[in-house]
Amino acid sequence: MDTGLYKKLHDEGLIGSETLEKIAEKHKNPLFSLHWELKTLLYLGVTLLSTGLGILIYKNIDTIGHQFILLFIAGICASCFVYCVKKRNPFSREKVKSPSSFYDYILLLGCLSLLSFLGYLQFQYHVFGDNYGLATFIPMLILFYVAYEFDHIGVLSMAITNLAIWLGATIIPYTMLSNGLYSSTPLITRYLFLGLLLLAAAFLSEHYNFKKHFKFTYQNFGLNISFLALFTGYFSFYESPLSFLWLIALLILGFILYTDALKNKSFYFLLLVILYTYTAISTLIVRILFHMDSELAFVLGLFYFIGSAIGLIITLIHLNKKIKEI
């Protein structure tokens, strides 16, 4: 805070010495925001509570009883949703401001309790039988409904995760990359379908102006999953001419997302697209160099990576300026 203006007002006799002293004292001891610290503590509190309940149930399953456990979890879930229904703001197609940070984490706790309840019910009583698709489909629908009804991005992320589970894409990205050369085509196409589906949801959210702020979450998941699937497809068919089709599809998707990132002035997505496409082009260059003379290939490869790294940095700086000028 600039106190020069207040000193000038004091010299002109517009404010008193006492007021000037209070302003100076406030400047020396500014307020410290605990916003993110409190949000972090609330998040950790919800996570630790859910973990603690799980450990408590696991260690005392024989003495507590399954019915009591289910009733207890259902009670927590119902209490959370009753509180959120009472405190929520009216539904809107636009972004709805949350009543408080406490409200957000109570809703998150309610959703986690709901998943625990349904999972425990299936594990212990097999209410869905052997139909595990239905056991994941119902929680997914509930989470998507809650995310839109209460306007909660955290719950939306949980819903997208459940969508991935329902589609059978339960393998983590690291495992998929490490087993890329041996990944099956159905798994790759399932991942690609999931990524494109999420990108379509991002586009529709913006196009129809229905929870437009959800676009970032959909696009963030969709972009990374789609590029990961295309890269896996490329390396899985590396020895086949079909590998180039995966690479072409990756570059086409990159161009589409590049155009969208420029349109929406999103440097984050622009950065992701540039890095993914740069990696794709680099793999093609390295593949060509492998078929050349070893010494010449080494020299050309060295010049390529040094030159392309410099070019990549210059390009990102230029694009950052371009976004600000748009």
Q: Check: pTM over 0.75? Answer yes or no.
A: yes
DSSP one-letter code for 182: G
DSSP one-letter code for 181: G
Alpha carbons 298 and 281: distance in angstroms, whole number: 17
Please state, as a whole number, how many other Cβ atoms lie within 10 Å of the Cβ of residue 324: 9
Amino acid in position 67: Q
Please state, as a whole number, how many other Cβ atoms lie within 10 Å of the Cβ of residue 98: 16
What does each of the 326 residues of the chain score in pLDDT, given as a tens digit?
455 666 776 676 767 777 767 767 666 655 555 556 666 666 677 677 667 766 766 666 666 677 777 888 899 899 999 999 999 999 999 999 888 878 988 898 899 889 888 888 887 778 887 777 788 899 999 999 999 999 999 899 999 999 988 887 555 555 555 554 445 677 788 889 999 999 999 999 999 999 999 999 999 999 999 999 999 889 888 778 788 899 999 999 999 999 999 999 999 999 999 999 999 999 989 888 888 767 888 888 899 999 999 999 999 999 888 888 76
211 with 151: CB under 8 angstroms? yes
Taking the domains of the chain in order of start, what are their residue ranges? Answer: 64-134, 169-326
**210 Cβ neighbours under 8 A, 6+ residues apart:** 93, 204
Q: Burial letters for 154-168: b for 16+ Cβ neighbours within 10 Å, e otherwise?
A: bbbbbbbebbbbbbe
Give Cα 231 distance to the centre of its chain.
Answer: 20
183 with 166: CB under 8 angstroms? no
Closest CA to 218 of 246, 244, 197: 197
Alpha carbons 137 and 132: distance in angstroms, whole number: 8
